[in-house]
Structure 1
Amino acid sequence: MSTTNAEKTGAEQTGGDNASGQQAQSTVPFAVPSFAGEVSDAVVKVLDSGWVTTGPQTGAFEQDFADYLGAAHVVAVASCTTALELCLRAMELPPGSPVLTPSLTFCGAINAILHAGHRPVLVDIDEDTLVPSVATTAAAAARTRPAAMIVQNQGGYPVDVPALTEAAGLDRTRVIEDAAHGPGAARDGVPVGANSYAACFSFYATKNMPIGEGGAVASSDQGLADRVRAMRLHGMSKDSWRRYLPGGSWRYDVKTVGLKANMTDIQASIGRAQLGALPGWQQLRAEIVARYDQALKDLPGLVLPQRSLDGVQHAWHLYQVRVQNRDALIADLEAAGVGTSVHFIPASHMTSYQEILGADECATVPVTDRVAEELLSLPLYPGLSVDGQDRVISAVTEALRTRS
């Protein structure tokens, strides 16, 4: 297994140049994707095979990922966002149905609800875990009669899906898990997605198992998996691979309206190689988190991420701290050559969603509004070297102690 060089920095990794216009070679970037050593050979084999779109590698990746999760079914798709939309469409809810969702989420999750033809209903968070609680979910459900709910594993923290499902007054077949941050997380020893009716994963470049782009739906339900599988390619009854297999037929039907949301065999071959490296990468993430915890625990004004609770295995996709004057700390770290990010700008703060949802709905998440102004994600990825992490720690320490 090999990873990209954690010290490869500059405009290519950070999205910009330093003030002098030269690449800042000593910068610690916020994220650097890791790739297993087998990736290049896997891609070349697909290119040599003559079949690069959805085909045998995609099917093999689906089985490999299902085995990793312990899930009955996995359907590979174009992204986590399309996975969420496809699952909502597969539920066949009445148009305009209210769907519960955290406001502290990526805009793609809100867009999935809107593109599926439904109405987002915002849910506030618990300020320690950064995910909705039983109380905030029940409060949101009381404002409406939700038809479905999207729950999110913020930063890699595995939510208690059955408890939130009960709080929302929903059946499990009306709950979708946004597991974009979820690979490697577990609750009570059960991996995120293993027993889910619908769990949606992301393989974006910054995720725990990066492919570059791509997503997947894990499901315990054969019917849901079949519907998503058909809808990921326009609703066609057979994809190209099955039509052109020996003995196959060019004939197909369109039984439902779908999307163009399939994964290619090139992506799937990368995913299969990456999956073998994932357990080792998760161990490295845990070690980096332990070093952050030890070094930063006594800094004034800094709140560290939720500590592990009984039965909770965090995926540590993000190391999210909370701090007053967050933007000033971002500027200090940038000056010290340390990249950071913020996850996320709440949906209730976005102009388009404010217009769609209205002021009253956007005012229902006061904890989210307050906490979101304090959140800051520090660099966390398998290739982050000890020297690089020490540089992050030193920069944060100096900035906060100077300010206190």
Structure 2
Amino acid sequence: MTFTQTQKWLPLLVPCMPSPQELMPWLERMHMARHYSNFGPLVLELEAAFAQQFGSGVEQITSVANATQGLELVLQALNLPAGSHVLVPALTFVATATAVVRAGHVPVLADVDAQTWMITPEIARAVCERMCIGAVLPVATFGMPQDMHAWQQFELDTNVPVVVDAAAAYGSQWLRDAQGTLVFSLHTTKSLPAGEGGLVVSTRPGLAAKVRQLSNFGINFDPNASMPIGTLAGLGSNAKMSEYHAAIALVSLQKMELHAMQRRRLQKDFICEINQATDHRVAWQVQGTGGPLLAPTLLCASLPNAAVRFVLEQACQREHIMTRRWYQPLLQNMDVLQQRCLTLETPIAIALAQKLLGLPFFLGMTQEERHRVCNVIASAMSVS
């Protein structure tokens, strides 16, 4: 099927943000309170709702301006020696590595599991046996949850702290009665969109409170502390969530379960359609021991090889279908990071980087739009 040059582009992602009408009652509450930042009533209400969802105390929760700053501040709050080696997967978004660098440490890039596309406790153990690692930053890749019980056991066995970059995994990644630290993103394209925002959940004693303090410049506001209120207790940043973003998140939270269910159904149907159109020649991320992907926000396919991917990309470009090579180039192939990272052998990540391609996926995607994608994939693979 051929489309004309006037064919409307099929987007890769479409944010599912609350409408102005849905937001208005919350914005009116904010305006009446005249409190717009600095841990206002809507931020506190949102954090209380998060604490209830995670079955934790509010002292184990803190909001931040975004997940990247959340990662940076958590690493700072761990008080690792300057220049510590922090293990991260080679296949991840750049913010995982840049947070490590900005916190004053050295990212150590490791390989990932061939099926789940994630770094695992087994991979991390093997690295820790060869070199000194100060902390591990596993990633819930594409929202697939990490096994928190396995990572808790890893921490107990190695005494190496673990911080899960769960940026894309809200609604899928839970502690499940395990001990651990999670950092989520509330970016506009995530499963719980607030426009911008982040969430830190940690059972590590005092960690969330320390991150909270660092997010407010590092100033002490605890009257029970050993220093006067207003004293700089640490070299923090301005990484607080605003009341505006908390208002959006509170509205999004009301529809979170419905949207997660719709995303699961869309993912299931779309993958089934692509499999049928390609005679099952496309591979997909496999669920690990951390549980199922309950709130998918994107669709990433593993194609047979680099040549097929190139042909498909060209075909999608002609037919005005957006695609993206997630997460490529790999971290070790980015000039800005090459001199700041220590790269281990990563054959699986390198192989995946030749084949992965992000396809359009968003709530409200029609069957006609899905068929449009399937037809292009089937056509491209038939000539490859």
Amino acid at match of 2:118: V
With over 3 angstroms needed to count, the CA separation of the structure-2 counterparts of 1:293 and 1:389, relative to structure 1, is same
SS at match of 2:193: coil
Identity of aligned residues (%): 27
How far is 1:133 from its partner?
A: 3.0
Which 5+ residue runs of structure 2 have no aligned equivalent?
none
SS at match of 2:86: strand
Name the CA distance, whole Å, in 2 between partners of 1:193 and 1:310: 12
Alignment root-mean-square deviation, CA:
2.6
TM-score by length of 2: 0.87
Q: Is 1:254 paired with 2:236?
A: no
Amino acid at match of 2:77: A
Q: Is 1:347 paired with 2:331?
A: yes
User: Does the 8 A contact of 1:122 with 1:140 survive in 2?
Assistant: no
Q: How does 1:90-105 map to 2 (within 5 A)?
A: 90-105=77-92
Amino acid at match of 1:171: N
How far is 1:338 from its partner?
A: 1.7
Q: Is 1:231 paired with 2:218?
A: no
User: Does the 8 A contact of 2:148 with 2:175 survive in 1?
Assistant: no
User: Does the 8 A contact of 2:165 with 2:183 survive in 1?
Assistant: yes
Name the CA distance, whole Å, in 1 between partners of 2:229 and 2:186: 33
With over 3 angstroms needed to count, the CA separation of the structure-2 counterparts of 1:183 and 1:264, relative to structure 1, is same
Q: How does 1:73-222 map to 2 (within 5 A)?
A: 73-164=60-151, 166=153, 169-171=157-159, 174-186=161-173, 191-192=174-175, 195-222=178-205
Name the CA distance, whole Å, in 1 between partners of 2:239 and 2:4: 40
* Alignment partner, residue 35 of structure 1: 17
Mean alpha-carbon deviation: is it higher for 45-54 or for 370-379? 45-54
User: Does the 8 A contact of 1:184 with 1:192 survive in 2?
Assistant: no
Q: Is 1:59 paired with 2:71?
A: no
Amino acid at match of 1:84: L
Name the CA distance, whole Å, in 2 between partners of 1:384 and 1:194: 36
User: Does the 8 A contact of 2:110 with 2:344 survive in 1?
Assistant: no
Equivalent of 1:379 in 353, 360, 374: 360
Q: How does 1:199-348 map to 2 (within 5 A)?
A: 199-238=182-221, 252-298=230-276, 299=278, 302-308=281-287, 312-314=291-293, 315-323=295-303, 324=305, 325=307, 326-345=309-328, 346-348=330-332
SS at match of 1:376: strand
Name the CA distance, whole Å, in 2 between partners of 1:216 and 1:194: 18
SS at match of 1:139: helix
User: Does the 8 A contact of 2:185 with 2:197 survive in 1?
Assistant: yes
User: Does the 8 A contact of 2:195 with 2:248 survive in 1?
Assistant: no
Name the CA distance, whole Å, in 1 between partners of 2:352 and 2:110: 14
Which 5+ residue runs of structure 1 have no aligned equivalent?
1-17, 243-249
Amino acid at match of 2:379: E
Name the CA distance, whole Å, in 2 between partners of 1:375 and 1:31: 17
TM-score by length of 1: 0.83
Name the CA distance, whole Å, in 2 between partners of 1:40 and 1:333: 39
How far is 1:309 from its partner?
A: 5.9
How far is 1:255 from its partner?
A: 1.3
Amino acid at match of 2:259: W
SS at match of 1:297: helix
Name the CA distance, whole Å, in 1 between partners of 2:205 and 2:364: 38
SS at match of 1:254: coil
With over 3 angstroms needed to count, the CA separation of the structure-2 counterparts of 1:340 and 1:193, relative to structure 1, is farther
Q: Deviations over 1:125-152 (max 9, x none)?
A: 0121100134422332233111111111
Name the CA distance, whole Å, in 1 between partners of 2:154 and 2:180: 17
